[in-house]
Structure 1
């Protein structure tokens, strides 16, 4: 058929079938030519089948279109030129949809390749695996760290470094863990972080491994520089007046000796007062040295199961009388049922007592002083403890120095309290942070 209209093609085929039926009836019933009737019957059957095939072609094309989309085959094109305008528009829509999916797939593939190249070239080791440990994604940086060109399951890492294997396998999403690894006959420190995501019903973990040796070296150098500045400042504050006063006393005594004069009572009193000042400043230096010793003598934690809620209640009973005496409102809250944690109760109590004392000093001059301590669970085996006050806050210019040993703005303060607190929390593999707003208050947060 050369006609381009589907309806015309169908009508012509139906007319041809009708002609075959008429001829068949004529030769079969009137002319009684049975052989010719057989030929006509065969042609009639073929014409009916061809009509069905022609009509069903649009369904076959639609099935092919859907299967092509399902199999991401965007090379198939459809032509409706021989079927009229309606089919031409239909097949043109097929082609447009196919092209749209082709463009989307190309853009998706481009983004996928871009991400793969990005992950491949960054210096942080990245590995992703499913619940059974099957590795889905790994970049060159991770392979170089573990010196393994091919890893199909994270259990392979157990032979490289059991510490690394357990760190990657056990780390909780959203947490960071520092690990020391003996790799290539060198001790290296890495920060391990993890996140989880789901695709359908399957869960996957994405873990990053970053070498922080250089960063730690820089931070350590900065910490030493700050400590030396503080130590120098404190020592010079004591040594300078001692040196000056010693020179003055030496000058007074030398003048008397050179003139062979008898040292009178007034001179003796001056010398005695000067020696008393020297004695006081010397004791101050001794106390400063003892404080430094205490800073470096924090005992190793004796870990045991501790109920933070019970510890919180004990501290509340301990501080309530003094807080009531100072007219300070005190609130104890527990956001949810916190789990027991492994900690040293004595050291942890020391940290909380120090923070509560600091809070009391902060709200001493407030009109409506308020201190609160709250706990809430963070995961299955960790808790968050917050000590909050509505004091004046910590000025920005000294905020970064509050954890530096011997740094203090309090008259007579040693400057080691917060430094010791942070060290104790670090020994518990936790973190101690501070959030403050001038004129609003300060919150110290312990995550352990």
Structure 2
């Protein structure tokens, strides 16, 4: 019977990690539905971007208040969970504070964990106030209604509960140490949890042990729950921010990628040795689809972007189109792409690994044409994103599809392109008359 808790713990651990691995497999499958793209260039610069942006949070602190609070939560939550290693070893082998043999260094670790836990609690409370009482504009946009709003708050509640369980566990442990309870050896420094120890002074050793064990079990169970909840939450960026910043765009933000097929055609037109009227060869490849109308047409890097989106709204708050009342929200573009990708993934699962046309697509069913044409292509959203997401690339690919596949550009744009073709300029004036304005008195 003494090994029952260890067996239960091991089963919980295997189930939690197994479910997480299954979700990672599903995530990888969905991302790889996108087109292949070569991102093998500038390896050193990519590693540098990942270190600075994902690990160093360099773009997060552009907004000092929110940035520093996020850094506290990020560092605190990651470092505190180093203790998970000790919890796992204790759970499997039935030990208690196995790393206590580290002595003074262990005291330093536990003390640091507790101070960080307190800072995380403070930061989480501030975040909750900003979302629900102050109600910052970027958190109350139309796309943040329903599940996105609940998800943001739920994450805060989970983080708060995990930190409080950690401090409660340590406070009960400290009280049991002071009472000389069996197995509870003197170990650790508890600068924060010692403050709440007086709340437990009247409890018996039996009740204290029950409290400490309950907090211990709930803490590790909560961490495993949080790990598996990531897939369904905007906090998936905790994991994906690293590959996303590594594979982020390295070329200048104003530089757009030309379609290879169009480039080849233009080169043929410029080559006097090529017969432009010749029929294509019988074995010539079928021309690729221009642009994107659904997630299959996007690259896997763009799909990775969609899953990495933190829904922080910095892109939307910087978007000039959105700020002037237009329907476009770069955040919504990424959220819609992720939602459509999830729908496609479920379609594949239901049909046993094969996608069957469901009569839907990203264009029109998720993202409207009004949103796409509202974009000024200024790259403000790309610059603002703290994890190197590029909403503009998706917008431009979908615009490309509308223009080159459906000839569905707005009338003003069609007029401009017609003028460029006929007059060599966007204006409806003959080239011979272009300088007439200078002759006016």
Name whichever structure is richer in strand by fraction.
Answer: 1
TM above 0.5: no
TM-score range, shorter chain: under 0.3
Greater relative contact order, per chain length (Cα 8 Å cut-off, separation 6+): 2
Per the normalisation by structure 2, the TM-score is 0.23
Name whichever structure is richer in helix by fraction.
Answer: 2
Per the normalisation by structure 1, the TM-score is 0.23
